[in-house]
Amino acid sequence: MTHRIVIVGGGAGGLELATRLGRTLGKKGKARITLIDANLTHIWKPLLHEVAAGSLNSSADELNYVAQAKWNHFEFQMGRMSGLERESKCVHLAASYDEHGVELVPARTLSYDTLVIAVGSTTNDFGTKGAAEHCIFLDTREQAERFHRLLLSHYMRAHASEGHQSTINMAIVGAGATGVELAAELHHAARELAAYGLNGIKPENVHITLIEAGPRVLPALPERISQPVHQTLNDLGVTVLTDAAVSEVTSEGLHTKDGNFVPAKLKVWAAGIRAPSFLNEIDGLETNRINQLQVLPTLQTTRDENIFAFGDCAACPQPDSDRNVPPRAQAAHQQASLLAKSIARRLDGEELAPYRYRDYGSLISLSTFSAVGNLMGNLTGNVMLEGWLARMFYVSLYRMHQIALYGVARTGLMMVGDKLSTSTVPRLKLH
C-alpha cells in the first residue's frame, strides 16, 4: 500500500514541504501526499503588514492550493483540523462554511501513515482586557484586508467632507518585526493616499503610535539593529513608546500600566505568539504553555514517532542551549528542507538527522524609506546592512520562498511581470 503523508497547514513551511515531497516521492509514486488548509489560497505571512497598509494586493500575490497541488504531484483538501486519533492514525477535519453559514465541505476523517503538523501560530494578547474586542490581529489575510478596509473608510469619509481636515490616530502594540514594519508602511500609505487626492487627512495628521512593553524596539534582535530602526521611525514621525505594557484596550484607545492613555481608533495587536489552542495536549501529545507541540531534534513529537511538527507550532530545542528554535520564517524554511529529506529516509528505513537551526541574520524593511539588518554566515561573518542593499536582500527572502514553490524559471517570469505592472496599477491598493 502507498505510504500516506498528511500535512496539516499550508503556511510557508507546510506548503514548501508538500511541494518538495510531491516533486520527489509523489511524482515517483512512492507516497501519497495530502495538504490540508482552511483556505483555498496562500499568501506569505511576513507580507501581511503590507496587505494591511495596502502596499500589496493580496489577490495578485496569492497562490492557489489546488493549482499548486496539480503542478507538483500532491493532493489538496480544504478543511480545519479538529481532532486526532493516534491509535487509528486518523485526522478529523471540521466542516467548512461560507459567510452565510452554508456548508461548503462536510466534516470528515483522513487516514495517515506519517502526519506533519505545521499550523503556524496566532497572536497572543496575553489575556489583556479588551484586546480581542477592539484590536485587529494580523494572523490571516482576512484580518489584514479588514484593517485596510477600515483605513480606507476613514479616508473616504474625510474626503467626502470638503474643506474639513480630519485626523486619524492609529496604535500598534508590539515593536517586533511586524509592528515596526507596519508602522513604516502606514506612514508610506498616508503619503500615497494624499498623492492620489484623498486630502481630507493630510500625512501630518496621521498619528501612529508604536507601543512596546520591553526596553527597546525589536527586542529579539541585536541592539545595533534596533537603534537605527528606532531613529528612522522617529524621523518618520512615528511615536515610539518603550517600557509601556498595555493594561486595557477600549474603543477609544489603549491604557498602559504606567497610567498613560493612547488615543486610537485603529488598533493592531502584534505582540507575542502562541500555537492554536486545539493543539493543547491533543490526544495526549506533549505541549508547552503556549500550546506548541514538544518535538525531538528530528522534529518528531516526543510521544509519537509517526507525527512530526515544525514551524511556529513546534517547540524544538536548540543544541547546547536552554532556548527553543525561534519562530521565524527562515527556521520554518530550513525545517521544511530537512523534513523533505527525513521523510524520504524514513520510508527507506534510514536514521533521521537532527535539525540544527542556522541563523543567517535578520532584515527589517521600513517600507520605501529604509531597511536595516545583518547577515550571518561562514564566509561573510556578521555584516551590518542598511539602505538600498539591505532592502534588496529583504526582497530576496520572498523570492527564495517563491523559488521553493514555483522554481527558478517561473519566479523569474513573475519578477518580470511585477516590474511591468508597476506602470499600469496604482502604487497603493485603493479598494
pLDDT number for residue 380: 47
C-alpha cell at 203: 500625512
pLDDT number for residue 164: 76
Q: Is 133 helix (H, G, I), strand (E, B) or coil?
A: helix
H/E stretch holding 53: helix 48-53
C-alpha cell at 274: 502562541
The number of C-alpha atoms within 13 Å of 327 and in the hemisphere containing its C-beta is 23
Residue ranges of domains in the chain, CATH in brackets:
3-121+275-347 (3.50.50.60), 131-269 (3.50.50.60), 361-421 (no CATH)
DSSP line for 198-211: -TTS-GGGEEEEEE
pLDDT tens profile 76-98 = 999 999 999 999 999 999 998 88
Q: Is 171 helix (H, G, I), strand (E, B) or coil?
A: strand
CA 357 from centroid of its chain's CA atoms: 19
Q: CA torsion 37→38→42→45, rounded to 10°?
A: -100
Q: How far apart are CA 110 and CA 84, in angstroms?
A: 10
Among the listed residues 192, 223, 190, the one whose alpha carbon sits nearest the alpha carbon of residue 208: 190
pLDDT number for residue 394: 73
Q: CA torsion 152→157→161→165, rounded to 10°?
A: -60
Q: How far apart are CA 82 and CA 75, in angstroms?
A: 20
Q: Is 222 helix (H, G, I), strand (E, B) or coil?
A: coil
Q: How far apart are CA 366 and CA 364, in angstroms?
A: 7
pLDDT tens profile 33-71 = 999 999 999 998 988 999 999 988 877 778 999 999 999
Q: How far apart are CA 74 and CA 53, in angstroms?
A: 34
Q: Are 125 and 268 in contact (CB under 8 A)?
A: no
Q: Are 58 and 29 in contact (CB under 8 A)?
A: no
Beta-carbon contacts of residue 195 (< 8 Å; ≥ 6 apart): none
Low-confidence ranges of the chain (pLDDT < 50): 378-380
Q: Are 76 and 34 in contact (CB under 8 A)?
A: yes
DSSP line for 331-370: HHHHHHHHHHHHHHHHHTTPPPPPP-----EEEEEETTTE
**Is residue 150 packed enough to be buried (19+ CB in 10 Å), middle (13-18) or exposed (0-12)?**
middle
Q: How far apart are CA 372 and CA 226, in angstroms?
A: 9
Q: Are 129 and 121 in contact (CB under 8 A)?
A: no
Residue in this structure with the C-alpha cell 501513515, named with its chain if needed: 113
Pairing mode, if any, of strands 80-85 and 90-94? antiparallel
Tell me the one-letter amino acid at 154. Answer: H
Beta-carbon contacts of residue 212 (< 8 Å; ≥ 6 apart): 174, 175, 179, 219, 240, 241, 242, 243, 244, 271
H/E stretch holding 190: helix 177-195
DSSP state of 225: H
Q: How far apart are CA 128 and CA 125, in angstroms?
A: 6
DSSP line for 315-332: E-BPTTSSSBPP--HHHH
Pairing mode, if any, of strands 96-97 and 300-301? unpaired
